[in-house]
Amino acid sequence: MRILYVAYPLLTVSCESAGGAEQVLWTLEREMAGRNVLTTVAASRGSRVSGELFSTGDPCTRPDDYERRRSEHEDLAVELVRRHARQGMAFDLVHDMSGSFWRRAAEIDTPVLATLHLPRSFYPSQSFCHVPANVTFNCVSQTQARSFTDLTGMAGVVSNGIAMEKLLPGSANHNGAASERRQGLLWLGRICEEKAPHLALEIAERAGRQITIAGQIYPFSYHQQYFEREVLPRLHRMPNATFIAAPAAGTKRYLLRRAQAVLITSLVDETSSLVAMEAAASGTPVIAFRRGALAEIVKDNLTGLLVEGVDEAVKALENITRISSAACIEQARKTFSALQMAEGYERLYAQIAFEKMSARNPAARDLQKEGCFS
């Protein structure tokens, strides 16, 4: 099978990626390349992938340059698909992880699977009008899927997974920090208003705890303004607060393993949470606002504590030692593996391939009814 993965165009894709969609793409593409799938990734220059990289241009460095970069990225991806078809090496599937390429699907003949990573309200209202006939969608959590029940072409849910071997104790990347005394709180993620690291700082300040804020500020002026307005002043007045900009993967693993708890203070209905998954794999409990799919990922009183806001989060810190690191790790092993994610997408790929074959040969549907396909 020959698959083109289309990345989010803003930044690079690698094991060091900060964004959730980029991390999921990197993890999935690595799994599929290991299964002898011919993978190509259309992504920003400097990306590091397991299969072939098709560079669509430099990642954004200037603020608010996204629309120009998106157009450049998608134009080149469309031309790549057409060129492969002309050369007799057509892609069997385009898996769109970018959140927008699928709107261009009418320009190509290849089936497109579009993974929806965001809450429904984040997509422009017209996004799902006149969806091209060759597009199939999937969601990343049951909670998210409930908001897309009216969407034609929804194939189902494939939960995100993580590169477990990089996080679990005993892995080649394990540096012994998990056996040391844990100290302080950690907030990890993209620095923006909806993720609300300023509330994590408020929780730590009220609880009298150390905290590390670690994350990347994307090249959007409103993200930068939020950081300067809400986060930086709190960091300056809190002697026990530390900020680490765009932590490398090794630094992130170390921070996850040494923290007493990870705070997830999102103000939007999250569709998934790689941070919560990585925390569990590191044996670190999570205190999370009860928003969206976080209740699917954080098992209340088992791998963390779900709360309704800042006041409850401060109180929950008093009980965080009741959460067992071993229970967190066991839950991660059972639920969040890259293997499970890859198997889920393999099933969707097979379903889409069968539907394409059926469209060309209606007799194939009769064979399916007779049990020839399963």
Count of residues for the chain?
374
Statement: residue 185 has pLDDT above 60 = yes
Structural domain range at position 120: 2-161+338-369
Together in a domain, 192 and 144:
no
Averaged pLDDT, 89-113: 97
Q: How far apart are CA 74 and CA 67, in angstroms?
A: 11
In a domain, 349, yes or no: yes
Position 18 confidence tier, pLDDT thresholds 50, 70, 90: confident
Together in a domain, 231 and 287:
yes
Which phi and psi (to 5°) does residue 249 adopt?
Answer: -60, -40
At 209 the pLDDT is 98
Q: How far apart are CA 9 and CA 293, in angstroms?
A: 25
Statement: residue 311 has pLDDT above 50 = yes
Together in a domain, 118 and 178:
no
Q: How far apart are CA 279 and CA 264, in angstroms?
A: 11
Averaged pLDDT, 358-367: 62
Averaged pLDDT, 162-182: 68
Q: Into how many domains does the chain fold?
A: 2
In a domain, 288, yes or no: yes
Domain with 151 in it: what CATH number? 3.40.50.2000
Together in a domain, 130 and 57:
yes
In angstroms, the first-to-last Cα distance of the chain is: 19
Q: How far apart are CA 196 and CA 142, in angstroms?
A: 24
Which residue, among 348, 357, 331, 367, has the nearest Cα to 162 in the 3D structure? Answer: 331
Q: Cβ contacts of residue 261 below 8 Å, gap of 6+? A: 185, 186, 284, 285, 286, 287, 304, 317, 320
At 173 the pLDDT is 56
Together in a domain, 81 and 178:
no
Tell me the average pLDDT of the chain. 93
User: Sheet of 304-307: strands edge to edge?
Assistant: 241-245, 211-216, 185-190, 261-264, 286-289, 304-307
What is the b/e burial string over 328-361, where b = at least 16 CB atoms within 10 angstroms of the residue's CB? bbebbeebbbbebbbebbbebbeebeeebebeee
Q: How far apart are CA 207 and CA 146, in angstroms?
A: 36
Cβ atoms of residues 46 and 15 within 8 Å: no
Averaged pLDDT, 22-33: 98
Q: Quote the Cα angle for 121-122-123, to 5°.
A: 95
Averaged pLDDT, 320-327: 96
At 29 the pLDDT is 98
Cβ atoms of residues 221 and 64 within 8 Å: yes
Kind plus residue range of the DSSP H or E element containing 207: helix 197-207
Structure token pair of residue 241? 């607060």
Cβ atoms of residues 63 and 199 within 8 Å: no
Q: What is the tens place of the pLDDT at every residue in 190-225? A: 999 999 999 999 999 999 999 999 999 999 999 999
In a domain, 230, yes or no: yes
Together in a domain, 225 and 251:
yes
At 245 the pLDDT is 96
In a domain, 374, yes or no: no
Amino acid at 41: V
Cβ atoms of residues 230 and 198 within 8 Å: yes
Together in a domain, 304 and 352:
no
Together in a domain, 157 and 229:
no
Please state the pTM of the whole predicted model: 0.92
Together in a domain, 127 and 10:
yes
Residue carrying the six token digits 């620095």: 191
Which has more pLDDT, 276 or 126?
Answer: 276
Position 358 confidence tier, pLDDT thresholds 50, 70, 90: confident
At 355 the pLDDT is 86
